[in-house]
A and B are shown apart, each in its own frame.
Chain A
Amino acid sequence: AQSVSQHNHHVILSEAASLELGCNYSYGGTVNLFWYVQYPGQHLQLLLKYFSGDPLVKGIKGFEAEFIKSKFSFNLRKPSVQWSDTAEYFCAVNALRRSQGNLIFGKGTKLSVKP
């Protein structure tokens, strides 16, 4: 069965620090990859997605992610975090047997940014 691992449960950073959140998935075939963010009290929002092409994907709010197929990884990065980035971040995968709505989510990583 497919699974998604997010290794860090809770990350605490100071403003301006660099961020990297790990995501690994278990599926040997072609995948679609996503990062979603849930700000406190708000709904899940799509940060970025990878379908094909350039493995370095840029998303909203200065986030980017790199797909490394050999490592089954899709890590999320941001060079300099802000207090407003405090949120929970979810990595998600869909195996491309069909492009229908069955996302497998990781357990999430809570990011706390200290002002």
Chain B
Amino acid sequence: KAGVTQTPRYLIKTRGQQVTLSCSPISGHRSVSWYQQTPGQGLQFLFEYFSETQRNKGNFPGRFSGRQFSNSRSEMNVSTLELGDSALYLCASSPRGDSLNYGYTFGSGTRLTVV
């Protein structure tokens, strides 16, 4: 079966712009989480969605937001981009609400570069 699909794979944006990243979970998976990966900070949790509801949010400014649709697909949005937002953004999906009991499957990520 298809894995977690993230689009686009690469993105270059200018400071001050906004960006939307997309994640399609594995078919049947209902929980989607987002992580930011940078060389300096490593992997940091952004937020988690289950059944279109945000259940959990990491310590990121309000410029970072997300949503989940009824088909479990998820998007995250970053407004007013800063150079420090350059990172690999990873999406992970899990079959159920108790996502950690079942483990995550990660996507390959979207590499965002802010210039």
Contacts and interface: CB of A to CB of B under 8 A. Distances in A.
Contacts of B90: 43-44
B101 interface: yes
Interface string B53-76: 001101000000000000000000
B103 interface: yes
Interface of B: 3-4, 31, 33, 35, 42-45, 48, 50, 55-56, 58, 90, 92, 94, 97-101, 103-104, 106-109
A102 B45 contact: yes
A68 interface: no
B56 A100 contact: yes
B71 to A, nearest CB: 19
Contacts of A105: 35, 42-44
Nearest to B91: A43
A6 B55 CA distance: 28
Given A102-B56, A105-B43, A42 B108 contact: yes
A6 B58 CA distance: 21
Contacts of B97: 100
In this complex, the interface size class of chain A, counting residues with CB under 8 Å from chain B, is 20 to 34
Contact of A32 (B48, B100, B106, B107): B100
Contacts of B31: 100-101
Given A90-B43, A105-B43, A106-B42, A45 B101 contact: no
B104 A43 contact: no
Contacts of B42: 90, 105-108
A11 interface: no
A102 B101 contact: no
A94 B108 contact: no
Given A44-B90, A100-B56, 6 more contacts: A46-B103, A90-B42, A101-B31, A101-B94, A101-B99, A101-B100
Contacts of A46: 103-104
Contact of B48 (A42, A100, A104): A100
B55 A100 contact: yes
